[in-house]
Every structure is written in structure tokens, then in C-alpha cells.
Copies of this chain bind each other. A is one copy, B any other.
Amino acid sequence: MDKGGKGGLHKSKMKSRRTARKSRTSKTRASLSEAAGKTIDLMGTTARYKRTEKLFNEGDKAAYIYKVESGCIKTYNRLKGDRRHIRAFHLPGDYIGLESHTVHDCIADAIAPSVVRLINKKQLMARANSDIALLKFILGVTSSELMRTRDHKALLLKDAESRIATFLLEIADRDSRRGKIGMPMVRQEIADHLGLTFETVSRILWRLERSRIIALPERHDVVIKNATALKRMSA
């Protein structure tokens, strides 16, 4: 796993090219101040990351906050025995590292080719010191993140089937496309996110497919054929 990206912190990979067109604001974010969001968007520069490339490592000084513009980023921690805990898969519109720390407390890798906006944290926080709207925006994002984390914690108390049903409904909800749902992460990553093994993930996905609740036309695509059943299982 993780071949290549040894300790390679971002070199001089900044480009000022404006690549904001694909930015999709999620439902949760939509309720937050749009103006303050724009303030943030205008501040940074964008960078491209290849699959498996690191945005930052655990312990790195947290100099930037990151906004995903396209692709998918995972944030995770290493655990005992080459196990990992994936906190979240970040899709376009998501912010990473907005909660105040001086040092990153997790690792962030691109799991698909991604464009990310980097905003200087010191600069942003200085601005927030006199910009109430911006500060409220940051509070809003942090608050949403707290809720998401609570939901994910609750998920870890359910059985394997419920976890996967919940996960599928969540990615379906976040993916704009109708019909096929993009699932850019591999089985091992789903497992690390849900606190399961990849064998269990594989077995349960197969079980769901056999019972016609989902279809798996491609490794990275799911079709939800019976959302009602999935919702029932996820409870």
C-alpha cells in the first residue's frame, strides 16, 4: 500500500490557475453564508494532486486550509498494526483543516486526481479577526463537521450490514449523478472508514447485490435499486 509517496510534502506545486467551475456546494454548506465562502475562495491558489499523492502528513505544520474543488481526498490516521482509520472522504465543496490546530492531526491523500484550493491559514485567521461573517462561516463549517463526526461515530455502533447500507446511502446523497453512484475508493478504504475488514465489505456488497438491493456494474460504481430496503437496513 501507499507505494511511492514516501514523505513527499508538497514541493512548489502552486498554480494560480482558476479552476473553480467544478466546485459543487453541498446541501449542508448551502445554508452557510455564501459571501464568506467567496471570501475564502478568492484568497487561495489551486494545486493538482495525482491518485495516492499526499496533501499533508500527520505532524506537519498546518500552514494551509484546503478546499476540494474536484476529485476526492481521504483524511486518516495510522493505527496499530498497519491498520488505518479513515475519518472522511472529502468531495468537491468540502473544507479540510479549518478547525484550529497548529499541526495536522491526520494524513490527507488524494484517492483520485484532484484539484484543491490552498488558503494560507494565518492570513485567513487574521482576516477572520475582524470579519464577523467569515468567522461565522468558519464556525458553521466546524459545526457541520462536528455533526458529521457524531453521525459517523454512531455508525460504528451498528452491525456490518447497517454500516455499509448507511455508507452507500451517504455517498449516493453526496454524488450528484443520477443512477450510477461514483465510489472512487477501493474496498480496503471503505473497510478502513467503516471499521471492518475488506473481506467483510466484499461479502456484504455481494450479498446486497444478490438480493437485488444494489448492482455493481463496475468496481467503482454502485446502482441503488432498492433504496427503501437500504434505508431499512441502515437504521
Contact = CB atoms under 8 A, between A and B. Distances in A.
Interface of A: 77, 79-80, 85, 87, 99-100, 105, 129-130, 132, 135-136, 138-140, 142-143, 145-147, 149-150, 152-154, 156-157, 195, 235
Contacts of A142: 139, 142-143, 146
Nearest to A87: B150
List the 10 shortest-distance A-B pairs measured between CB atoms, nearest first.
Answer: A153-B153, A156-B156, A146-B146, A99-B143, A139-B139, A149-B149, A157-B195, A142-B142, A135-B135, A100-B143
Oligomer: number of copies: 2
B153 A99 contact: no
Contacts of A87: 150
18 contacts: A79-B157, A80-B235, A85-B154, A87-B150, A100-B139, A100-B140, A100-B143, A132-B135, A135-B135, A135-B136, A135-B139, A139-B139, A139-B142, A145-B146, A146-B146, A149-B149, A149-B150, A152-B153
Contacts of A80: 235
A143 B143 CA distance: 8
A232 to B, nearest CB: 11
A140 B135 CA distance: 11
A154 B87 CA distance: 9
Contacts of A195: 156-157
A153 B156 CA distance: 8
A96 to B, nearest CB: 13
